[in-house]
Amino acid sequence: MLPRKRTNKGEGSASVAESVSPAPRDADSGETTEEYPRFQPSNRRPRRSDGVKWFPVVKRLFYVSLLVLVPMILNYAALNHEMRVLPPKGAVVYDIGWGQKLLLHCTGSGLPTVVLEAPIGQASYVWSRVQPILARQTRVCSYDRAGLGFSDRAYQNTSRYTEDYGNATRDRDKTHPSTIERMVEDIHKLLTVASNQPRPFIMVSSDFTTMISRFYAQLYEYELAGLLLIDPAPETIFDPNTPSSPSPPGTEDEYLATETLDNNPWTTHWYRKTVPHLQSLHMSGSLGFNRLGLMAGLMAPVEVPELSGVLTDDIIAIKKHLLCQPKHLSSAFDEYYFMNESISQLKTMFRLKPFPDLLTNIATFKKPSETLPQELTKIWRREQERMIKRFHHGSYRISLPGSDYVSLYQHPGAVAQTIMDMVKDWRQYSSAAE
């Protein structure tokens, strides 16, 4: 076989160029007649600056990632530290079943045991000025509902979880809705099973959480010595002003109407203003922006400026912590979001069973709420009176100073005295019965 003839680099390049036939051209104009011009190889070497144009984009993405991740990491580290040092002294975390743990803070001794229920979306710290006064004369307990404060979120009870209690956490990630039915189940297991508190109980609650106390009384009336409902929320608050069915005035069908209308001011305020606000607060808290806002002075942990000189540094620190705690913010959002379902559960219970003959005191505030529009306050008062006439017509009425739950901070002595009056009444009745 004959050896192949070698050519130098220049000759080879020339031969390749000659082998490519030129594109045909028009005889008159001299332009190329092909639809697409043929590829012409270029001898230009690629420059290093061709890829540099992507560097500013990568740089911006890096800074944006830092802006998002750094606040989240710092917030997570701070939350872990605060979870160890901020819970109130003497509080105990109890396992109520399925690995779910709730914080319970009990002080004092004596019967009956007073159980303090925090307002909707809040934790037991709201009773920080009332509980020490009560503990001097009787036993008193406050607790954090599931997901709020320093308590765990509610887990889903599954049979698969019992097979592997320690590792099958994925079976309990999905939580139950935050409705009063589940809340009553939680507090009942916490008081009677996990911690075994002495009975009977006097349950004290405020605004929408009075539904928890009333639902508890429907199921476990023999465990209770009485109820104190502070500014109770009527279960008809989201109902239409005029029922769709022409039921006689004052009948059960007229009172327990379940239809809601978009023109109800409370429905509009609740689901178009309050719930979206809590959702945005949860999102910003998950990203760590709430902590940055508190550090920069753009957010305030105190709802009312007058409370700045009333609350202790420990309570303010807890309020700041919960504003940055995604678990707490998400659970507070759930309580508001599922309120309509909670009301439906309470109405169903009223249809199944009449309210028990139980000592019930109802306390209302002397002043209208300073945070609600006048129209909403008017509807609240009107429906509240209808509720009292329908279910609690024999209750004892009490007037408290202040305008809303802020009175628990500003007038703890008056609130504690109202509770102690119920405790003394029960003790006198119990001594007379013996």
pLDDT, one tens digit per residue, over 236-245 is: 999 875 333 3
Other CB atoms within a 10 A radius of the CB of residue 327 amount to 19
Q: Strands of 113-116's sheet, edge to edge?
A: 92-97, 100-107, 140-143, 113-116, 201-206, 224-230, 360-365, 396-400
Contact 412, 101 (CB under 8 A): no
> How many angstroms separate the CA atoms of 8 and 19, rounded?
17
> How many angstroms separate the CA atoms of 310 and 129, rounded?
10
* Overall residue count recorded for the chain in this entry: 434
Residue 16 clears pLDDT 70, i.e. is over it: no
Phi, psi of 298 (to 5 degrees): -85, -15
Q: Which domains occur in the chain, in start order?
A: 86-433 (3.40.50.1820)
Q: What is the pLDDT of residue 81?
A: 92
* 343, two tokens: 């009301």
- Dump the DSSP string for 180-246: HHHHHHHHHHIIIIIS---S-EEEEEEGGGHHHHHHHHHH-GGGEEEEEEESPPPTTTTS-SS-SS-
**Closest among 239, 257, 210, 248 to 392, alpha carbons compared:** 210
CB-count burial class (<10 Å; 0-12, 13-18, 19+) for 291: buried
Give me the residues paired with residue 228 across strands: 204, 361
DSSP E strands in 310-387: the ranges are: 360-365
Q: What is the pLDDT of residue 42?
A: 55
In the chain, helix, strand, coil percent, each to 5?
A: 50, 10, 40
Contact 206, 121 (CB under 8 A): no
Q: How confident is the model at residue 162 (pLDDT cuts 50, 70, 90)?
A: very low
Q: What is the pLDDT of residue 49?
A: 52
Other CB atoms within a 10 A radius of the CB of residue 385 amount to 12
Q: What pLDDT digit, counting tens, does each position of 70-102 carry? A: 778 888 999 999 999 999 999 999 999 878 899
Give me the residues paired with residue 102 across strands: 94
What pTM did the predictor assign?
0.80
Q: What is the pLDDT of residue 250?
A: 47
> How many angstroms separate the CA atoms of 316 and 178, rounded?
26
In three-state secondary structure terms, 124 is helix
Q: What pLDDT digit, counting tens, does each position of 325-382 carry? A: 999 999 999 999 999 999 999 999 999 999 999 999 999 998 888 788 889 999 999 9
Taken in order 332, 122, 186, 386, the sign of the CA dihedral is: negative
Average pLDDT value for the chain: 82
Q: What pLDDT digit, counting tens, does each position of 133-147 carry? A: 999 999 999 999 999
Q: How confident is the model at residue 264 (pLDDT cuts 50, 70, 90)?
A: confident
Residue 420 clears pLDDT 90, i.e. is over it: yes
Residue 324 clears pLDDT 80, i.e. is over it: yes
Residue 8 clears pLDDT 60, i.e. is over it: no
Percent of the chain with pLDDT over 90: 57
In whole angstroms, what separates CA 379 from the centre of its chain?
25
**Closest among 122, 117, 121 to 142, alpha carbons compared:** 117
Residue 64 clears pLDDT 50, i.e. is over it: yes
More confident residue, 99 or 304: 99
More confident residue, 403 or 290: 290
Q: How confident is the model at residue 63 (pLDDT cuts 50, 70, 90)?
A: low
> How many angstroms separate the CA atoms of 342 and 344, rounded?
5
Q: What is the pLDDT of residue 406?
A: 85
